């Protein structure tokens, strides 16, 4: 059984073109080596994060969906923006655990999530407990790739762990997170430990991003 400890402790610019995303340094296909893509400057935003007016006028069909993109979801409707978000998160897969960490040298669960979202100029609370208060709380059946899942681990009565949803398989939710024993890994809500400790899911991005 994986044992976790609690995690310690803006309007986004949507990039809908792969070449532009690569040029801006905020997107690349996952690779074996670990590298950080954290933006140097961010803006604080209020939940839920809303897209720009220009992006609201852009239909989902106009978002690039190139065949060479790695997609961590069986859902063909996942937007290019969410693909960028998940691909960025996957670059940290295998990074070791470090309480309060936010880099490839080590990160905790909320450190992973805040680092990934900060890449796209979205500032989230630093702790999983406070992060669970941001955005829209979801019914389990409404959870999509790009949402956040929260847990109450070690028998605690408050939320102390968070992960980012990378894939939906029917009623199974795959998420990336940082654990104390194995660092950043992919896990499933089908695993008994996460079935038992699942608390809630939140959407911190507006529906226009999905």
At 124, list the tokens.
């989230």
161 assigned to active site: yes
Question: Which one is catalytic: 45, 177, 202, 205?
Answer: 177
Quickly count: other Cβ atoms within 10 Å of residue 97's Cβ: 21
21 assigned to active site: no
CB 79 within 8 A of CB 209: yes
Instruction: Give the chain's length.
Output: 210
Beta strands in the chain (DSSP E): 102-103, 106-107, 136-138, 148-151, 161-169, 172-179, 183-188, 198-203
109 assigned to active site: yes
CB 209 within 8 A of CB 83: no
Question: Which one is catalytic: 18, 83, 152, 161?
Answer: 161
Question: Which one is catalytic: 86, 109, 113, 162?
Answer: 109
Q: Could you list the active site residues? A: 109, 161, 177
């Amino acid at each position: 059984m994986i044992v976790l400890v609690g995690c310690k402790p803006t309007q986004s610019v949507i990039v809908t073109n792969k070449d532009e995303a690569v040029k801006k340094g905020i997107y690349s296909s996952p690779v074996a080596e670990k590298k950080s893509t954290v933006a140097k400057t961010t803006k604080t935003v209020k939940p839920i994060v809303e897209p720009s007016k220009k992006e609201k006028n852009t239909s989902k069909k106009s978002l690039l969906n190139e065949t060479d993109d790695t997609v961590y979801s069986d859902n063909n409707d996942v937007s290019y923006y969410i693909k960028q978000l998940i691909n960025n998160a996957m670059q940290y897969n295998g990074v070791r655990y470090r309480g309060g960490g936010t880099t490839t040298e080590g990160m905790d669960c909320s450190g992973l999530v805040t680092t990934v979202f900060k890449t796209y100029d979205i500032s989230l609370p630093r702790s999983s407990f406070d992060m669970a208060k941001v955005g829209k709380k979801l019914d389990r059946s409404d959870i999509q790739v790009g949402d956040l899942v929260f847990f109450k681990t070690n028998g605690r009565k408050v939320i102390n762990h968070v992960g980012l949803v990378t894939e939906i398989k029917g009623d199974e939710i795959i998420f990336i997170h940082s654990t104390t024993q194995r660092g950043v890994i992919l896990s499933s809500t089908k695993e008994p430990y996460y079935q038992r400790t699942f608390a809630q899911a939140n959407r911190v991005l507006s529906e226009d991003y999905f």
